[in-house]
Amino acid sequence: MIIGGVKATDIVSKHGSPVYVTDEEAVRNNYRRVHSAFAKHMPTRINYACKANSNLAILRILEQEGSCIDAVSIGEVEACLRAGYSPDRILYTGVNVSTPELKGVVGRRVPINVDSFSELRRLAAISTDVPISFRVNPEIGSGHHEKVVTGSRSTKFGIPLNKIVDAYSEALQLGFRPVGLHFHLGSGGQDIEPFLKGTDVLVSISQRLEAELGLGMKFIDIGGGIPIPYHPEDAPMDLDHLAEEVTSRIKNGTSAQQIVLEPGRFIVADSTVLLTTVVDVKETPDKMFAGVDAGFNTLVRPAFYGSFHHVAVANKFDRPGEITYDVVGPLCETGDHLARERLLPRVEEGDVICVYDTGAYGFSMASNYNMRPLPREVLVNKGEMNLIRERESIDELLRHQRMPSRLML
């Protein structure tokens, strides 16, 4: 297996495992694909949803491409500033935001996408000299799992649909001048129809804002959630069709000057693989297990969402499948599976398993469960590999713990 011009086995030999490996060219190409699909219809701003993957090197690659940022925490804001983004290229969209965090975002002069009336009023007490937009709950949800559907009526996100005009009205009274309107339906839904229905909702709200408040929107933000084909047999979403349908609605129904999108998964998911080494092969009456050194502490999506990730044996890439294995990790949990019932070449200790499409919500959701350090990240590009995150040490795992003096030995 070759990744970005580098043998997978050479990466593991040099950097150990588990290790996340990102192909720089894939990140750049994915950004260009989504931007060009929409930009040929109307002015387009891509706010990369950096919660998917916030490594500084990846943020910098996208900054060079001209991307902007969707940030959901003060930590993400600070990371993006350090990666070279100017504050105006970041849009902060939090939920249940504390007043200290609001002050931190305002202090960094970053525009804010407001999620609630409480947030609006607390923000006004800090400053009204900040560009704002509003996140509306469109009562339309979409996503690959119920835990990532964000736009349905019962979720915690956004201003209720029947209160959204009131929110803009109050913002004007408080001294703000709102510039945009936003929703986020969910993450990874395969159907184009919810995007179109949601866009119709935004168009309708925009028309009401203009008619009732004389307020035109600078931008309409349709959020993220563009899916990728995790299963080898899945078809990708027709990005050109999505772009054409969404932009025609905005251009024909509003005075908005710009469309904003917030893809995260689409840009980085398939740019990255997780390489993990087989450390144990176990046969039981019911199963063959390939035990590896990565678990749901390294990649939680299969355990948390039941997500599918294609796997292959990187050092036996040209060999046919012979035996069906469950690929399982070292955690003390029965649910510690990376893959179930996969036909693979005969697996031996020392083989390298490649887990595909791990660039989105892979490292960013990793944990220290079972006191296991976070893995390395490596960037590959045209035959060159660079370490972009060092492996965590045991000492670093313990560095923030404090022992009361009365318990000292």
Residue numbers annotated as active site = 332
Q: 92 forms bridges with which residues in the sheet?
A: 71, 112
Burial class of residue 27, CB neighbours in 10 A (0-12, 13-18, 19+): buried
Residues 6+ apart with CB under 8 A from 202: 136, 138, 181, 183, 220, 222, 250, 254
Beta strands in 58-138 (DSSP E): 68-71, 90-92, 112-114, 132-135
Q: Which tokens sit at 8? A: 């997978």
In whole angstroms, give the CA distance from residue 319 to residue 302.
Answer: 25
Q: Which tokens sit at 178? A: 């709102």
Q: Are 162 and 201 in contact (CB under 8 A)?
A: no
DSSP 8-state code for residue 149:
B
Q: Are 117 and 165 in contact (CB under 8 A)?
A: no
| Phi, psi dihedrals of residue 7, rounded to the nearest 5° | -65, 135
Burial class of residue 343, CB neighbours in 10 A (0-12, 13-18, 19+): exposed
DSSP 8-state code for residue 175:
T
Q: What are the Cα distances from residue 175, in Å, to 105, 124, 213?
A: 18, 8, 14
